[in-house]
Structure 1
Amino acid sequence: MDIDDPKQVVLQVGAIMKKYRKEKKLSLEELSELAGVSKLTLGNIERGETNPTLGMLWKISKGLSIPLMALFSTKSSVNISQAGVGLKIPGDQPTCVFEPIFQNTSDEMEMFRAYIQPNSSYQTEKHHPNTVEFTTVMTGAISIKVNETLYTLNQYDSISFRADCTHSYINNANDVAVLHILLKYNL
């Protein structure tokens, strides 16, 4: 797959989503109810006719009870992830871009680089039930709001928390903050 060709990525996501839906013996209507995404939109995604947002992909992955990156999965026994090379997933807001570190995921965890733009914030979707998020600040300093509590992290600081709650990232600096995020699923 050419990950630099957005149309190929959209087609792959649609085909993988359809594969998981059929494996779980779900109709488009049933997945629509589970994911909170319209049946029409799901059909368009499966056919590669629309480019879904990150928020929509989170909802679909939760509806299918699979990790988000399973929708982008490639199979290989050795994977190398180079920063800035490969797939980039824009957040629902232009303040954040996610870069999968490894796309060949298990059902248990996945890892991302997140780039939070200067003087901005990013509110993420609630993740799957019982998911734990581990975040390390690689460059910059950020605040992470988990439920109503704000935590400040500097370079190389880390935090872990239940990610099936409201959480957001805040970058009050004039430089991009780079985070490594590991999601540990309990599906």
Structure 2
Amino acid sequence: MGIEGRDKAKALEAGALAVSGQLGKTVQRLRKSYSLSLSELSEQSGVAKSIISQIERNETNPTLATIWRLAQALDVSIEGVLQVSEDEPFLEKSTRGDTPILVSDDGKCRLEIFGWIKTVEWLQWYGFHAEPGGVLSSDPHQRGSVECLSVTEGELEVEVAGSIEHAKAGETLRYRCDRPHVIRNHGDRPAAAMMVCILKAAAME
């Protein structure tokens, strides 16, 4: 299972869920600044009037595709729609139910996507869990990318281009992930780790 590309959209959507609390206020403010009714914005964006109304009242978690349609109709970038006003405090929470979970091909590994939409192009982070015998094979990320795997439970093995290293709880492995890489749990008990992927690492340029 490759994280880069196939799962990027899911990471982006997770970020969209996280900022939905501010999104409703911003959409409503922009809509009113253009003197648009809900029906007019619905017609211009292709997003159902009922959905827009729910977004403005923070009663739904919109997908990135929905945010993109609204941004196009309101003639602003996605970043502009998601931006929090500088004079407002920034404090948000995502629940366990808001966190997408990806499962490896063997069904023994899972990734909880904690990454945020505003950093997904250069920084991603995940919670990693592997049952005994679990294997997570990943395709290369973009050139210069580095992954950091901090083991919190059990022991994990990482293989990159024929090189293999092990880490147990309290230890961290850092490795180039711009080539195929594999994480394995050869132990007889579950293992867990925090995984951070730096997609544009200057140190590797």
TM range (shorter): 0.5 to 0.7
Which one of 159, 163, 183 corresponds to residue 169 of structure 1?
Answer: 183
Q: What amino acid is aligned across from residue 113 of structure 1 in structure 2?
A: G
Runs of 4+ that moved beyond 6 A: 82-85
| Structure-2 change in CA distance of 1:156 and 1:82 (3 Å) | farther
| Structure-2 change in CA distance of 1:139 and 1:149 (3 Å) | same
> Number of paired residues?
129
Which one of 52, 58, 66 corresponds to residue 4 of structure 2?
Answer: 58
Which one of 11, 17, 34 corresponds to residue 69 of structure 1?
Answer: 11
Percent identity between the two aligned chains: 14
- Give the TM-score normalised by the residue count of structure 2: 0.54
Residue 167 of structure 2 corresponds to residue 153 of structure 1: yes
Q: Is the 8 A contact 1:79 1:102 kept in 2?
A: no
Query: In 1, distance between residues paired with 2:107 and 2:12?
Result: 23
Structure 1 residues 6-58: Cα deviation after superposition (integer angstroms, max 9, x where no partner): xxxxxxxxxxxxxxxxxxxxxxxxxxxxxxxxxxxxxxxxxxxxxxxx53x63
Which one of 94, 101, 119 corresponds to residue 88 of structure 1?
Answer: 101
1:133 corresponding residue in structure 2: 147
Q: Is the 8 A contact 2:99 2:114 kept in 1?
A: no
Q: Is the 8 A contact 1:143 1:151 kept in 2?
A: yes
1:120 corresponding residue in structure 2: 134
1:147 shift after superposition? 1.1
Q: What amino acid is aligned across from residue 186 of structure 1 in structure 2?
A: K
Query: In 1, distance between residues paired with 2:159 and 2:124?
Result: 21
Q: Is the 8 A contact 2:152 2:191 kept in 1?
A: yes
Structure 1 residues 92-127: Cα deviation after superposition (integer angstroms, max 9, x where no partner): 331211001234441320110011111232211221
| Bigger RCO (CA 8 Å, 6+ sep) | 2
2:114 corresponding residue in structure 1: 101
1:84 shift after superposition? 8.4
Query: In 1, distance between residues paired with 2:99 and 2:175?
Result: 28
Structure 2 residues not aligned, in runs of 5+: 20-89
Larger radius of gyration: 2
- Give the TM-score normalised by the residue count of structure 1: 0.59
Query: In 2, distance between residues paired with 1:185 and 1:122?
Result: 19
